[in-house]
Amino acid sequence: MPGGPTPPSDTIDLETQKHNTTPPGSDEVTSPTHEGSEHTAGLEDDSNVPHLPLLKLFWFFFYNFGLFAWGGPVAQIALIKDRLVLQDKWITLPRFQRVFAVYQILPGPEAAELCMFFGCLSSGRIGGIVAGVAFILPGFVLMLVASYLYSLVGLENLYFNASFRAVQPIVAAMILRATHKIADHSVINHTTHKVNPYLVLAAFFTGLNGALRINIFISLGLYGVIYALIARRLWVPAMVLFALQYGGYALYVVLRGVPSPVSLALGIAKTPSLINLFVLGLVAGSLSFGGAYTAIPFVQVEAVLRGAWLSQRVFIDCIAIGNVLPAPLVIFATFVGFQGGLVDGGLGNAFAGAVIITLGMFFPCFVFTIAGHSLLEKLVQNKLLSDFFDGLCGSVIGVIATIAVQILKSSVEGSARKAEKDSINIALERVSQSGAAAVLYILALGVLYKFTNKYTALLLLASGAVAGQFLFV
């Protein structure tokens, strides 16, 4: 067995997330719901899969994939496909396409799920757990170290703050670009390959609901059901449900007033206790349809808006750090857990919180994958569930767009890093810094649209950190 990783041969885009219907390096994905008998050859053949001892299996996935998981999900998936499918030929390409199509619909990072799938083939369910841990571990350890160093440096360090002040508008640009990229695929009709207007409307009205401060979980479930009804031409029930949401909202406003911003959240993490951090990770991980960027809103509304134990600027910083590590982007949750534990009970609690929230975030994808791929295929092939997920995924675009606007506003305006007296000089300085941040945002957005190399985001963040020393010191 060759000892080193094979670099991906594909042109990849950092922000491409789950609803990209074509796995990296292939021209077409064969949908599991449309495969005929002519495509079944090799789809269940495991004869080329090596049966590795658990320790050797751990090292194989740790060294070949965990340590080299740079460049985002598409690069990670390309690396796995190149090594295990094209080079080592563990399974056939048609089977890989079918597996990938199933994991696209499920929540969680697909690269981690693919590693678990191949681990299951090699050494059973325990092998799947071992392979998944091996893939995630390097990024988790690096994020844990980064979280600790972040707390050591302190939020009042001038140079430290200057770099992150410049990085924040770049992160805001990355989230907006990701919203567009995910929307390109999540609002497409799988049969006609054209834009589905009903999914576009689901995204639009979910964004509107966010502006009206309607709980995002209500919007996601509601538009999943509405689209499932529309797909069956049940227009009247769909219209009744659509009208009821705004009728109920109007009644709420009359009786209790306009909802506060915290109404967007469920209130599952009002305090960053260990159990609350686990539940927060579990909910975000279970609802991360569309990839890591869809987990961001769920964590943000609970930790920043409702719980208020994490500031918006620190939250943006953790996303920036997550983008430069060799790991699925959802590893940003480790940082959130560390900061929450630090607030709740000191350094020991911080490390415990980082571990606990990470376990919660990845638990759903472990369960879905270890449960068995054949069972997942049966669930995905269910037309009712498939339509519900389509509506939910379209609605997710509106959620991400809402958070993208909030983060843009926060990253451009900035916030006072220390107690300062109000003066005309301070006001002018903040206006000047906001102008510089706005320019960084526009430049970053232009670069992200122009260049799709897997290292584009990493280079942007590094350049922003350096630029901050000149702009904000």
Residue 237: pLDDT band with limits 50, 70, 90: very high
pLDDT of residue 377: 65
Q: What angle do CA 442, 164, 424 make, to 5 degrees?
A: 80
Residues in contact with 275: Cβ distance below 8 Å, sequence separation at least 6, in sequence order: none
Please compute the mean of the pLDDT values over residues 135-161 and round it to a whole number. 88
Task: Give burial (CB, 10 Å; 0-12/13-18/19+) of 455.
Answer: middle
Which pLDDT value is given to residue 4?
Answer: 46
Q: Give yes or no for residue 197 having a pLDDT over 90.
A: yes
Q: Is pLDDT at 467 greater than 80 in this prediction?
A: yes
pLDDT band at 157 (very low <50, low <70, confident <90, very high): confident
> Has residue 42 got a pLDDT over 70?
no
Token pair, residue 315, equals 């939250």
Residue that wins the pLDDT comparison between 430 and 459:
459
Position 191 pLDDT exceeds 80: no
| Confidence label for 458 from pLDDT (cuts 50, 70 and 90) | confident
Chain centroid to CA 77: 15
How confident is residue 422, by pLDDT bands cut at 50, 70 and 90?
Answer: low
pTM above 0.85, yes or no: no
Roughly how many angstroms between the first and final C-alpha of the chain, as a whole number?
52
> Distance of CA 458 to CAs 112, 142, 327, 464, Å?
21, 15, 13, 10
Name the nearest CA neighbour of 169 among 470, 433, 456: 433
Least confident of 34-38, 264-268, 359-363, 443-447: 34-38
Q: Which two tokens stand for residue 255?
A: 């009786």
Confidence of residue 325 (pLDDT cuts 50, 70, 90): confident
User: What is the reported pLDDT for 328?
Assistant: 87
320: pLDDT strictly greater than 70: yes
pLDDT greater at residue 105 or residue 227? 227
Q: Whole-angstrom Cα distance, residue 226 to residue 222?
A: 6
Which pLDDT band, with edges at 50, 70 and 90, does 52 fall under?
very high
What distance in Å separates the CA atoms of residue 363 and residue 274, rounded to the nearest whole number?
15
- Does pLDDT of 290 surpass 70? no
**Cβ atoms of residues 153 and 160 within 8 Å:** yes
Please write the tens of the pLDDT for every residue from 385-405. Answer: 878 888 888 888 888 888 888
Q: Which residues have a Cβ under 8 Å from the Cβ of 245 and sit 6 or more positions away? A: 209, 214, 218, 219, 222
Per-residue pLDDT tens over the stretch 200-222: 999 999 999 988 988 888 898 99
Q: Is the pLDDT at 33 greater than 70, yes or no?
A: no
Buried b / exposed e along 209-237 (16+ C-beta atoms within 10 A): bbebbbbbbbbbebbbbbbbbbbeeeeee
2-18 tens-digit pLDDT:
444 444 444 334 333 34
pLDDT band at 25 (very low <50, low <70, confident <90, very high): very low
Work out the pLDDT band at 145, boundaries 50, 70, 90: very high
- Tell me, rounded to whole angstroms, the distance of Cα 421 from its chain centroid: 39
Alpha carbon of residue 398 to chain centroid? 15
Degrees (nearest 5) of the Cα angle 89, 92, 95? 135
Report CA dihedral (439, 445, 451, 455) to the nearest 10 degrees.
90
- Split at pLDDT 50, 70, 90, the class of 139 is very high
Check: CB of residue 397 under 8 Å from CB of residue 203: yes
The residue-averaged pLDDT of 266-278 equals: 92
Is residue 423 scored above 70 in pLDDT? no
How many CA atoms does the CB half-sphere of 208 hold within 13 Å?
A: 11
**Do residues 268 and 301 make contact, with C-beta atoms less than 8 angstroms apart?**
no
pLDDT band at residue 416, thresholds of 50, 70 and 90? low
